[in-house]
Amino acid sequence: MRFSQAISEGDGISVIVDVADADAARAAASQGAEAVAIERAISDLRDVTELPVLWRTSGSPSEAVLAGADAWVISVEAAGEDGDWLARQHAEALELGLDCVVEVRSEEQLELALERLDPEILLFSLGEEDDADALRHALDLLPDLPAGKLAVAEVPVSDREQVIELERAGVDAVIVGARNVAELVGDAPPPV
């Protein structure tokens, strides 16, 4: 299943779990996660989960493909003033069959991403802001997102209520750290 399909189908918000090893990926799948995010290649990942994989580290789209990823994050901030680099990287990811997730941290970056790339999936990543500010900032960016786009938030969430708040605001998925995600998913996880 494609990453975009996993986060857009079904009822409610999808939980994507940031994992560092195969055991964490297996646990995330058994607890109801709909995708996993990785920052480095994990051996045996495809042996333990069929969940879509989001590659979230610097490097090229081809590195993401070699790591077994289904989707790749490209940061508008990393492009700096080089909008052509951003467009080339986005095109390469799509050419390789990856879902391209465009990371933005501000209204200006969101505007640039929409103008230059018109991406299907946007990641609202708010870095080092404290929990309440990051959540509020992500919610403030949502009204600027055109209809039909998928929104992923990377904000610290500590309970199901925060996940529900993101869902009500129109966020399609949230990235969380590896832990017991069953409490964030809400429903009983599907049998594996």
Q: Domain 3-185: which CATH class? A: alpha beta
What one-character-per-residue DSSP string does 138-154 give? Answer: HHHHGGGSPTT-EEEEE
Contact between 104 and 70 under an 8 Å Cβ cutoff? The reply is no
Q: Which residues pair with 157 in a beta bridge?
A: none
Q: Which pLDDT score, from 0 to 100, does residue 189 have? A: 43
Q: How many CB atoms lie within 10 A of CB 160?
A: 12
Predicted confidence band at 127 (pLDDT cuts at 50, 70, 90)? low
Q: Which pLDDT score, from 0 to 100, does residue 59 have? A: 82
CA 59 to chain centre: 17
Type and span of the H or E element at 123 = strand 121-125
pLDDT in tens, 7-39: 998 778 999 999 999 999 999 999 999 999 999
For all residues of the chain together, what is the average pLDDT? Answer: 88
Whole-number Cα distances in Å, 44 to 22, 26, 51, 163:
6, 11, 13, 30
Which single residue is written with the structure tokens 């901030």? Answer: 77
Contact between 124 and 104 under an 8 Å Cβ cutoff? The reply is yes
Q: Six-digit token pair at 134?
A: 């990051």
Question: Pairing mode, if any, of strands 150-154 and 121-125?
Answer: parallel
